Amino acid sequence: MLLTLPDILSPQEVASARQWLADAPWTDGRDSAGPQARQVKNNEQLPHDCEAANRIRAMVLRGLDRSPLFFSAALPKKVFTPRLNRYSGSSNAYGPHIDNAVRAVAGSGERVRTDLSCTVFLSDPSAYEGGELAITDTYGEHAVKLPAGHAVLYPGTSLHQVKPVTRGQRLACFFWIESMVRSDEQRRLLHELDMNLLRLRQQHGETAETTALTGTYHNLLRMWADT
């Protein structure tokens, strides 16, 4: 399931993030890549413990906490430490790859299974050319380029790439989620049921049918969730 999450960050938060990133200590993104990824990765990243990264990370996590859509779609168990990257100039692309199945959280020894990948866009689409996040699934390739503050959520199993940025710079925050429900198909079914229950309540209020279907939702979640 590929899903857009609108307004994870407000315009004011995006402006603050850009200000903090203006003088940030960018480093070669290949420094954090494995041998295979280094062959196709050509971007810049922030050290995970620098001040700008810490500020933006906290802001993004607060934004996710405010988003019922994120919780419904991801059913998060663990969120990998959000990181920041930049595509511009000669460091402008990340070729086709699939993310590692498990990521180690720096300094904690904790590991996160990457069931879902998420990118929060920090640059306006008009500020750069190219830079689409191209995600491939059974229906083909989907090119994603969202307004600043919006996010895209997609299965961590997906082949994906960032197309070359030919003008301007593309700033983004990215991270992975270990879900309580490991199966993408099961998460999708639960999300669809949850969203349709929400629409039924908006149209008809609480009824015996919505109460029964809510029970079905929670019984399925109880059956599939690993907490």
8 Å CB contact between 190 and 219: no
**pLDDT of the residue at 38:** 82
Tell me the HSE value of 67 on the side-chain side, using a 13 A CA sphere. Answer: 27
8 Å CB contact between 163 and 134: yes
Q: What whole-number distance in Å separates Cα of residue 138 and Cα of residue 92?
A: 27
* Same domain for 209 and 150: no
* Same domain for 139 and 49: yes
* Same domain for 197 and 174: no
pLDDT below 50 — which residues of the chain? none
Alpha helices in the chain (DSSP H): 11-22, 35-38, 51-65, 68-74, 184-204, 208-224
* Same domain for 109 and 204: no
b/e per residue 27-48 (b: at least 16 CB within 10 A): eebbebbeeebeeebbbbbbbb
**pLDDT of the residue at 171:** 98
Of 72, 140, 96, 150, residue with least CA distance to 118: 150
* Same domain for 86 and 54: yes
**pLDDT of the residue at 128:** 98
**pLDDT of the residue at 48:** 87
What letter would DSSP give residue 206? S
* Same domain for 220 and 160: no
Tens-digit pLDDT profile for residues 92-146: 999 999 999 999 988 778 999 999 999 999 999 999 999 999 999 988 999 999 9
Could you list the residue range(s) of the whole structural domain that residue 51 is in?
A: 3-179
- Please tell me the total count of domains within the chain: 2
* Same domain for 219 and 123: no
* Same domain for 201 and 143: no
* Same domain for 173 and 199: no
Domain boundary at 179, 194, 213, which?
A: 179
* Same domain for 170 and 194: no
* Same domain for 196 and 111: no
* Same domain for 195 and 160: no
pTM of the model: 0.95
**pLDDT of the residue at 107:** 78
